[in-house]
Amino acid sequence: MKDFIILALLFLVFIPILAFYHTEISAENYSQQISTVSLTILPVANLGIVNPDVSETISQGAAAAEKFTSGGVEMASNSPTLIVNTNQKWILTVKTSGFTGPNQKNADDLLLRDSASQHVEKGFNEYTKLTTKDQEIASYTSGVREENHPMQYKVLLDWEKDLPGTYTSIVTYTLATTGA
């Protein structure tokens, strides 16, 4: 009889527990909601620039004369360095405002080269004359992350045309996405 009472007590204790667990998974008592996650990614382009401004002073002496004799002065390398980040096909272009200064100086007296190891276009891996219209420097058919383009300027010099004074040119770099 004692065994019967123990079994009855166990039955009375476990039946409600089993019934509780059963109702949690029973289709009759089941409720469900859904959530949709949607992310729209648009074309993103970010052009960074390090060491954007570069200048050089030509003073007296043999070193200055050599710069005129050799036809120009090379500015500091890697100045500026452009950093390309984009998530789709892209193109990097450059143009100059031309020079301001004490005398007329042609816009194409400013040359540029891109020392990057990849995606450089249109001969910019060597010094190329700049114009007042956009010129393609580099491009690629896919996105890139932190792609560096170390630039270097060269300014052509002429004994007869380049009078003493400060000559300034504004150079504009543009990174644009061009579709998938």
pLDDT in tens, the chain (180 residues): 666 666 555 556 656 555 555 445 556 888 899 999 999 999 999 999 999 999 999 988 888 889 999 989 999 999 999 999 999 999 999 999 999 999 899 999 999 999 987 899 888 999 999 999 999 999 999 999 999 999 999 999 999 989 999 999 999 999 999 875
Q: For position 74, what pLDDT does the model report?
A: 95
Residue 39, in any domain of the structure: no
Could you give the CA distance from residue 171 to residue 82 in angstroms, rounded to a whole number? 12
Distant-in-sequence, close-in-space partners of 19: CB < 8 Å, separation ≥ 6? none
Question: Same domain for 17 and 53?
Answer: no
Nearest CA-CA partner of 174 in 148, 150, 123, 138: 138
CATH of the domain at 68: 2.60.40
Q: Indicate whether 2 and 90 sit together in one domain.
A: no
Same-domain status, 157 and 78: yes
User: What distance in Å separates the CA atoms of residue 6 and residue 56, rounded to the nearest whole number?
Assistant: 100
The answer to whether residue 96 sits within a structural domain is yes
2: containing domain: 1-29
The answer to whether the pTM exceeds 0.95 is: no
Residue 145 covered by a domain: yes
Can you give the pLDDT at residue 5? 67
